[in-house]
Chain A
Amino acid sequence: MKLKKILAVSLIGLCSLAATSCNQGGGDDQLSGDGDITYDKNGEVVYDNVKLKMWSVTTGDDAGTQDQIVNTFNEMYKGLINVEVEHYSRYDLETLLQNTIQFDTQNAPDVLFNHGSRTSEYNARGWLNEVDFFFEKSKAAFDKADFAPSLLESVTIGDKAYGVPIDCHSAMMCVRKDILEKNNLKIPQNYQELVEVCDQAATLAKNNNLWIRGENSDGFGAIEWHKASTATNYTAFPISFGDMWVHEFVSYTAATQNGGKIVANDEKPAWNSEETAKGLGVLRDWIFPTSTSANKNPMSKDYGSSYDVGDAPFNKGECIFKLQGPWAWQKEVQTFDSLLAKDGGSNNITTMNLGRMFALDQSKDYASKIKGEGHAITLLKHVKSYTKCCAATVFMDYMANYSGIEWAKRGHIPALKSVTLSDEYKSDPAYEKYVKNWGSPEDYVVVPPTKYYSYVDSYFKGAVQKAISAAHKDKNIKDILDKEYKDCLDYIELYSE
Chain B
Amino acid sequence: MEKLVNLKEFARKKEKRKSTFLKFLNVGSFLGPYTISFLMFFVFPLVLGIIMSFSKFKSTSIMPSQIGTIDNYAVLFKDSAIARDFWKSVWTTFKFCLCVVPLSILIPLGLALLVNTKPPLYKFFRAAIYLPGIFPLTSTGLILMRLFDSHYGFVNSIFNLTTDWFGDVASCWFIIGLFCVWCGIGGNFIIFCAGLENVDKSLYEASDVDGCGKFRKFLHVTLPAIKPQLFLNLFTTFIGYMNVYGQIYMLASNNPDLGEMKSAVYRIQDLLVGSNPMSFGYAAAMGICLGVLIIFVSIIQLILNKERKVSKHAKKFEAWKESK
Chain A interface residues (CB < 8 Å from chain B): 3-4, 7-8, 10-11, 14-15, 19, 22, 24-27, 94-95, 97-98, 102, 121, 124-126, 241-242, 301-307, 309, 312, 451-455, 458, 462, 465-466, 469-472, 486-487, 490-491, 494-495, 497
Contact = CB atoms under 8 A, between A and B. Distances in A.
Contacts of B150: 303-306
Nearest to A302: B164
Nearest to A28: B60
Given A26-B61, A305-B255, A10 B166 contact: no
Given A304-B150, A497-B278, A490 B81 contact: yes
Nearest to B164: A304
B60 A126 contact: yes
A37 B29 CA distance: 54
A179 B240 CA distance: 54
Assign chain B's interface to a size class. Answer: 35 or more
Interface in B147-165: 149-152, 164
Given A494-B278, A495-B278, A495-B279, A102 B62 contact: yes
A495 B51 contact: no
A469 B256 contact: yes
A228 B217 CA distance: 65
Contacts of A22: 62-63
A246 B55 CA distance: 40
A10 B63 CA distance: 14
A250 B57 CA distance: 37
18 contacts: A10-B47, A14-B47, A14-B48, A25-B61, A26-B58, A98-B62, A241-B256, A304-B164, A305-B167, A305-B255, A306-B164, A452-B274, A454-B274, A471-B257, A472-B256, A486-B81, A491-B81, A491-B82
Given A7-B51, A469-B167, A494-B278, A25 B60 contact: yes
Contacts of B68: 3-4, 7-8
A102 B57 CA distance: 14
Contacts of A102: 61-62
Nearest to A9: B67
Interface in B11-67: 44, 47-48, 51, 54-55, 58-64, 67
Contacts of A454: 273-274, 276
B246 to A, nearest CB: 14
Nearest to B69: A4
A458 B273 contact: yes
Contact of B82 (A26, A451, A486, A494): A494
B311 interface: no
Contacts of B166: 242, 304-305
B282 interface: yes
Contacts of A7: 51, 54, 67-68
B172 to A, nearest CB: 8
B117 interface: no
Contacts of B48: 11, 14-15
A304 B274 contact: no
A309 B152 CA distance: 9
Nearest to A122: B275
A24 B60 contact: yes
A455 B273 contact: yes
Contacts of A497: 58-59, 278
A8 B66 CA distance: 9
B81 A242 contact: no
Contacts of B59: 26, 124-126, 451, 495, 497
Nearest to A494: B82
B323 interface: no
Contact of B81 (A241, A458, A462, A487): A487
Contacts of B152: 306, 312
A27 B59 CA distance: 11
A8 B277 contact: no
Contact of B258 (A19, A451, A462): A462
B274 A455 contact: yes
Contacts of B63: 15, 19, 22, 24
A59 B55 CA distance: 38
Contacts of A452: 274
Interface centre among A8, A102, A306 (most CB of B within 10 A): A306
A14 B63 CA distance: 12
Given A10-B51, A494-B75, 17 more contacts: A8-B68, A10-B47, A11-B64, A24-B61, A126-B59, A307-B254, A454-B274, A455-B273, A462-B258, A462-B259, A465-B256, A469-B256, A490-B80, A494-B80, A494-B82, A497-B58, A497-B278
Interface centre among B150, B166, B259 (most CB of A within 10 A): B150
Interface centre among A304, A470, A491 (most CB of B within 10 A): A304
